[in-house]
Amino acid sequence: MILALWLVALGVADPAVTYDRVPAEVVRIQVYDWREESIPLETPAAVDRAGDVVSILGRSGANVIVVFARADGAYLIDGPFRWPDTVTRRVLDPRWRRSITVDASGIAADEHTIRWLSAEAEADAWTRCVGEAVRVTCWGVRVGAVGVAYFESQGRLWSAVVGGQTRFRSSAWGRLLIVRGPSPDANARVRLRHPVASAQRSRSVRLETQDVGQAASVPVGKSAIWIAGNDIPDDAWVEVQVVGSGPVYLPMRDVAEGPASLPVHVAVPDSRAIDGAVSGRGDVPAAGSVVTLFRQFQERPTTTRDRDPPRRVFVAEKTTDAGGAFRFEQLGEADYEIVAWHPQFGRASIAVTPGRDRVHIHLQSAGVVRGRVLSGGRPVEGVDVIGVPDQEAARNAADLLDLKGGDARTGRDGRFTVFLASAGGELRLGGGRFPVRRMALPRGTDLSLDLGDIELGAPIAISVVLDDDPACSVRAAGPAGRTGLQVVRGNRVAPGLHTVIIPEPGVWEFGLSCGQQEHALSPGVMEILPAMSGKEVRFTVRN
């Protein structure tokens, strides 16, 4: 009787749509008028249900969706489709879905076309997002699935991870990474990094790295990540990895300049390992060698005019075992360089291309420097001996490691042996609780240099006299323009009087440390010479 009345009211001949095998947990069936990019409006419809068979009478020609909801709000959905003029049987999609709302206050989302990116490897084309005044509602999101809702406005990209963020965020670009790794259940991880060159050493080929500013990554389920940002630093990259895999490095500019509507599918391979051994002259195992791994992020030069090697960044560091062996794990299919360094045997580097998993590094040096450190005529144990490059050569060098000599610490007899860099430089002895002495080293190769006995001498003890007594400690930093900057603190012996032990002559900067605050002194910089030992140096406290 009800169906007959509806037929008369609608003026159509039996325009029913029938569904078989409707789940028993469905408690509510609704028909909505559907217009793309608009809020769906419920429309009257007669529903006749007999067991798992449902027949619905609707308005002929209307563009609709039919929602079969269960008590917890999840639903099955059919459509959008045009209501037929004759009896029709339709197959109901068995995948349960839900509607998710995201805060869109202050951005007038109803004025924009909201698009949806699924985080599933196989995209689900149904989900639609519509904007209202202060919110965006995404209809038909599969239960357990997440994705990204986004729109573009005035050159900016507004995006929200549906189910993961509370509101839309603005960026210059954004891309969805869908990651496929060795294990389907592994969580994907992303790092957004870029190299940082030193302003003092612009030609350096070994660079530090740091996170890309104003860029972020947001997990979208286990195997997908939404990344978005503003500026793109030169040579920045997106590093993608899952547990048990090696990283994949994607140039950030290539990722950012692609359309937001197109996900980036990333296949992450099994992790790679490199085993190696380090030996000195005569294949003697170089136990205790420092082995550093760098990744090359620039293409190799194609012409001889570009003489500098490709730039690279630090990845990891190891110390060889008693047999000179080392191992790097969790690596990707990239071009690497391994640099091995030993304080007595020298250094060497080797390029490691994809597919190579074993290396043997033979250390070399330009020569050996020996000596014995004394203080007051007696051997001193535990004195640091560091080979440092010439300052001008270091500023102009493409690779500072080529200029670095060996390091050591004196033994009980005060003796040391270090390797010599071919570019020469200087030997810095002392530091910490010892005074510092520096010795120039010659340039050359295959040198064997014995410096004999080296007297450290005494530090320069000065008395700092202040015109005021703020009850702070005197701090001195220096020497300016030399390697191995040190900070020493004075000992307050009386109001306005401090004893400061300066480890070596040179230009030092003076100030006052007062807990979390500092006060300047005048003069702020002073040259300290050996002849000033035991004398007073006067300063004015500046507020």
Asked, for residue 184, whether it belongs to a domain, the answer is yes
pLDDT at 14 over 60: no
Regarding whether 206 and 132 lie in a shared domain, the answer is yes
Domain range enclosing 106: 99-267
Please give the distance of CA 427 from its chain centroid, rounded to a whole number: 36
Regarding whether 518 and 403 lie in a shared domain, the answer is no
pLDDT at 302 over 60: no
Asked, for residue 276, whether it belongs to a domain, the answer is no
| Chain position carrying tokens 């409707």 | 22
Regarding whether 465 and 386 lie in a shared domain, the answer is no
We report the CATH number of the domain holding residue 504 as: 2.60.40
Domain end among 354, 389, 408: 354
Asked, for residue 257, whether it belongs to a domain, the answer is yes
Confidence at residue 202, expressed as pLDDT on a 0 to 100 scale: 61
Asked, for residue 339, whether it belongs to a domain, the answer is yes
Confidence at residue 295, expressed as pLDDT on a 0 to 100 scale: 94
Asked, for residue 278, whether it belongs to a domain, the answer is no
Asked, for residue 272, whether it belongs to a domain, the answer is no
| Token duo for residue 88 | 């029709």
Regarding whether 107 and 89 lie in a shared domain, the answer is no
Regarding whether 114 and 161 lie in a shared domain, the answer is yes
Are 180 and 265 in contact by the 8 Å Cβ rule? The answer is yes
Confidence at residue 445, expressed as pLDDT on a 0 to 100 scale: 66
Instruction: Name the pLDDT band for 199 (thresholds 50, 70, 90).
Output: low
Regarding whether 387 and 500 lie in a shared domain, the answer is no
pLDDT at 144 over 80: yes
Asked, for residue 275, whether it belongs to a domain, the answer is no
Domain end among 240, 267, 294: 267
Q: C-alpha distances in angstroms, 42 versus 33, 63, 157, 443?
A: 6, 12, 32, 87
Confidence at residue 135, expressed as pLDDT on a 0 to 100 scale: 87
| Chain position carrying tokens 């004015």 | 540
pLDDT at 530 over 90: yes
| Token duo for residue 483 | 């390697």
Are 68 and 26 in contact by the 8 Å Cβ rule? The answer is yes
Rounded-to-integer distance, Cα 276 and Cα 165, Å = 46
Within 10 Å of residue 9's Cβ, how many Cβ atoms?
12
Instruction: Name the pLDDT band for 459 (thresholds 50, 70, 90).
Output: very high
Is the model more confident about 7 or about 72? 72
Domain count, the chain: 5
Asked, for residue 382, whether it belongs to a domain, the answer is yes
* Cβ partners under 8 Å of residue 208, min gap 6: 195, 196, 198, 313, 314
Instruction: Name the pLDDT band for 308 (thresholds 50, 70, 90).
Output: low
Express each pLDDT in 435-453 by its tens digit.
Answer: 999 998 887 667 788 999 9
Domain end among 94, 113, 134: 94
Confidence at residue 517, expressed as pLDDT on a 0 to 100 scale: 82
Which residue type, as a one-letter code, is found at position 240?
A: V
- The mean predicted confidence, pLDDT, of the chain is 88
The conformation of residue 266, written as its DSSP 8-state character, comes to E
Regarding whether 138 and 253 lie in a shared domain, the answer is yes
**Comparing 110-124, 146-160, 207-221, 525-539, which segment has the lowest mean pLDDT?**
110-124
Confidence at residue 151, expressed as pLDDT on a 0 to 100 scale: 92
Confidence at residue 27, expressed as pLDDT on a 0 to 100 scale: 96
Regarding whether 250 and 188 lie in a shared domain, the answer is yes
Confidence at residue 7, expressed as pLDDT on a 0 to 100 scale: 47
State the burial class of residue 412 (Cβ atoms within 10 Å of its Cβ: 0-12, 13-18, 19+): exposed
Rounded-to-integer distance, Cα 178 and Cα 194, Å = 22
pLDDT, average across residues 74-101: 94
Regarding whether 389 and 339 lie in a shared domain, the answer is no
- Which of 70, 66, 57 has the alpha carbon at shortest distance from 8? 57
Confidence at residue 343, expressed as pLDDT on a 0 to 100 scale: 85
Which residue type, as a one-letter code, is found at position 241?
A: Q
Are 14 and 7 in contact by the 8 Å Cβ rule? The answer is yes
The pLDDT > 90 percentage for the chain reads 61
pLDDT at 1 over 50: no
Express each pLDDT in 338-396 by its tens digit.
Answer: 999 898 888 899 999 998 999 999 998 878 899 999 999 999 999 999 988 877 777 77
Taking the model in full, what pTM does it have? Answer: 0.73
Confidence at residue 281, expressed as pLDDT on a 0 to 100 scale: 84
Regarding whether 197 and 166 lie in a shared domain, the answer is yes
pLDDT, average across residues 98-115: 87
Instruction: Name the pLDDT band for 29 (thresholds 50, 70, 90).
Output: very high
pLDDT at 300 over 60: no
Instruction: Name the pLDDT band for 303 (thresholds 50, 70, 90).
Output: low
| Token duo for residue 427 | 């030997």
Regarding whether 178 and 56 lie in a shared domain, the answer is no
Confidence at residue 183, expressed as pLDDT on a 0 to 100 scale: 73
Regarding whether 182 and 132 lie in a shared domain, the answer is yes
- Which of 210, 327, 229 has the alpha carbon at shortest distance from 277? 327
* Cβ partners under 8 Å of residue 209, min gap 6: 193, 194, 195, 196, 313, 314
pLDDT at 304 over 70: no
Rounded-to-integer distance, Cα 176 and Cα 146, Å = 12
We report the CATH number of the domain holding residue 423 as: 2.60.40.10
